Amino acid sequence: MKLKARINKGVTLLTLSIAIVVIIIISTATINMVLGDGGIASQSKKASDTTANVTFEDEKKMNSILEEYTNVIKEDGEMQLSVPMSSQDIAKYAKRYYGAEVKGYECENNGVQKWRIFYADNSNIYLIADDYISYDKAPNGKNGTPVTKGDSDYQISFNNVINDYSGGAKYIKENSKGIKWLNQYLEKYEENTNENIKATAYMMDTNIWSTYAGEDAEYAIGGPTLEMYCESYKDTHQSKYLECGNINSNGYQIRWYGGSWDYGQNGVANDYNEIYIKPNTSKTTSMWIASPSDYSKDFIMNVDYNGDLGTNEYSHNLQGLRPIVCLKSEIKLEKQPDGTFTILKKNKL
């Protein structure tokens, strides 16, 4: 029994000695790690100095931004800086910005007194005339033929001007800068010369509508195409939106998402500052849409004051035109305290 006790005691002393040696080694290493050159304390000081420098540089940049953008706007209950907004920014917040007035856009033709944001994608912002243009502000066709005036100065039909566009779809494809917005039809019927595609060619002729394309614009056309109209409406009405397609040689059909195709649909909402419909009928009752209708080779799309998106013959004279402007891809907008936007000039970018 005594022998066993001495053995246990010996093991205990040996273990204690080893533990002490290990603790000393660890302590020495820890001290060097914390206090030595390149240790934690030294690195912490360097990191602190670096952070201070980065913070100072960031502060200088922020002050520069604050000096340049001094306009402050109140939106959604919060104070925000008015900074340049690209087409991607507008598209991301379509429900907030579509329909807003854009000031400072200038062009040769003074037929439009106010422009509004109609659509934006990853490349461009599109503006629409706030109201119908008068007959004398609509350009003549490519051969000089004027459009036909209706009972009021704002009612326009295409009785004679279609004669300037005998090439029909081919003319659009070869001459219009806005062909991507008639892509579904042109892919299938690029040789079509129906009367309705001739009238569409007049509205899509970016050469004659160039008087509405100022220095900030890539091009202008006589009104939204059905494809553009549906894309814009989808951005702002995501739970119930319009689709166009089911095309034949005459033109497009439309439907509410998940519904049945037809040449017309009702129920277009009167919102977003009337970019989709004009309920006031003092000038005219309907807006021409720059797209042929499947209903007949003579019929073009239009949207009425009461929200009926349908079709009418190219010679019908109760419709009006609201030009569309495609801004250059580099153009940005600046939000103002009153909710409007201004064209941001290059010297402020």
Sign of the dihedral through C-alpha 233, 239, 245, 246: negative
More confident position, 79 or 202: 202
Q: Which own/partner contact pairs does 107-110 have at CB distance under 8 Å and 24+ positions apart?
A: 107/211, 107/212, 107/213, 107/214, 107/217, 107/220, 107/325, 108/211, 108/212, 108/214, 109/137, 109/139, 109/211, 109/212, 110/137
Q: What is the DSSP letter of 137?
A: G
Task: Round to whole Å and give the CA distance between 65 and 62.
Answer: 5
**327: nearest Cα among 215, 242, 249, 223:** 215
Band (8; pLDDT cuts 50, 70, 90): very low
Residue 52 has pLDDT above 60, yes or no: no
Q: Characterize 256-295 residue by residue with b for buried, 16 or more Cβ atoms within 10 angstroms of its Cβ, and e for exposed.
A: eeeeeeebbbeebeeebebbbbbeeeeebbbbbbbbbbbb
**SS3 state of residue 149:** strand
User: So where are the chain's domains?
Assistant: 2-68, 85-327
**84: nearest Cα among 338, 293, 333:** 333
Band (118; pLDDT cuts 50, 70, 90): very high
Count the alpha carbons within 13 Å of 341 in the hemisphere toward its beta carbon: 27
Residues 139-151 pLDDT 10s: 999 999 999 999 9
Alpha helices in 146-216 (DSSP H): 169-175, 183-188, 195-204
Sign of the dihedral through C-alpha 190, 135, 283, 103: positive
More confident position, 71 or 155: 155
Residue 13 has pLDDT above 80, yes or no: no
**In the beta sheet, which residues pair with residue 242?**
256
Q: Characterize 200-230 residue by residue with b for buried, 16 or more Cβ atoms within 10 angstroms of its Cβ, and e for exposed.
A: bbbbbbbebbbebbbebbbbbbbbbbbbbbb
Report the chain's mean pLDDT, rounded to a whole number: 85
Residues 254-269 pLDDT 10s: 999 999 999 999 999 9
More confident position, 336 or 83: 336
**SS3 state of residue 115:** strand
pLDDT value at residue 81: 57
Give me the amino acid identity at 54.
V
**SS3 state of residue 349:** coil
Task: Round to whole Å and give the CA distance between 137 and 324.
Answer: 14
Cα separation values, 196 from 87, 312, 315, Å: 32, 10, 10
**SS3 state of residue 166:** coil
The percentage of residues in the chain with a pLDDT greater than 90, rounded to a whole number, is 74
Residue 39 has pLDDT above 80, yes or no: no
What predicted TM-score, i.e. pTM, was given to this entire model?
0.78
